[in-house]
Amino acid sequence: MIQLPRWQLQSRKASKHTPFLLITASATRSKWKRRVADSLGVEERRIAKIDLRVFGGSALTDDVDVPKRRLEPEIGHGIPVTYVPARNTIFLAYALAWAEIISASDIFLGVNAIDYSGYPDCRPEFIEAFQTLANLATKAGVEGTRFQIHTPLIKFSKAEIIRKAVELGVSLSLTHSCYDPSPEGLACGQCDSCLLRLKGFREAGLKDPIRYAKE
């Protein structure tokens, strides 16, 4: 089953004059995204429907099977077919456009370069390069705004991310990480992303609160 990578931008104001943007991407249904946004106290949302199926070229956007039950060494080696060409470049470009419009200079992205699938657009080098671009490519940047791309999770293990989420009171029961959820929205428990998430919960000594399609 092909999942549509949909995503949303959320704006939450840290204070009256410093709005910031948070990017979330998932194949989660909109009602769940709304619940996640509500639980985070999001003030304003924009949902941009970008249909990367017109290009295909990924197990998430094309008629290609999502790899299942891969072992950890396999997941950590090479770039798998679940890589979506230039996806985070596209997400950040949209976020940057909205940031410029609402005079925000801080953009937050939840990429991770530790327990991940080797995607090039999740690495610190990419984030730094995009930040440089943001400051060169926009009117606001040229006129003195210093855009900053924040990636607070980039160097955390999955277990550390989960512990931090629990510490911050994030409703993890509203989240999933699956590349290939069931028609009812249940995570498969077998794709790389589900396996990394489950490993993270195990290492954190916690139980994943979500239901999986095959338990």
By the rule CB under 5 A, 196 interacts with Zn ion: no
- Give the footprint of Zn ion on residues 131-190 (CB under 5 A): 178, 187-188
Q: Which is nearer to Zn ion, 109 or 187 (CB)?
A: 187
Q: How far apart are CA 175 and CA 195, in angstroms?
A: 15
How near is the Cβ of 145 to Zn ion at its closest, in Å? 39
Q: Which is nearer to Zn ion, 3 or 145 (CB)?
A: 3
By the rule CB under 5 A, 90 interacts with Zn ion: no
How near is the Cβ of 46 to Zn ion at its closest, in Å? 27
**The only residue of 96, 194, 196, 210 in contact with Zn ion, by rule CB under 5 A:** 194
Q: Which is nearer to Zn ion, 22 or 188 (CB)?
A: 188
By the rule CB under 5 A, 191 interacts with Zn ion: yes
By the rule CB under 5 A, 60 interacts with Zn ion: no
How near is the Cβ of 94 to Zn ion at its closest, in Å? 25
Strand partners, 83: none
Q: Which positions lie near Zn ion, rule CB under 5 A?
A: 178, 187-188, 191, 194
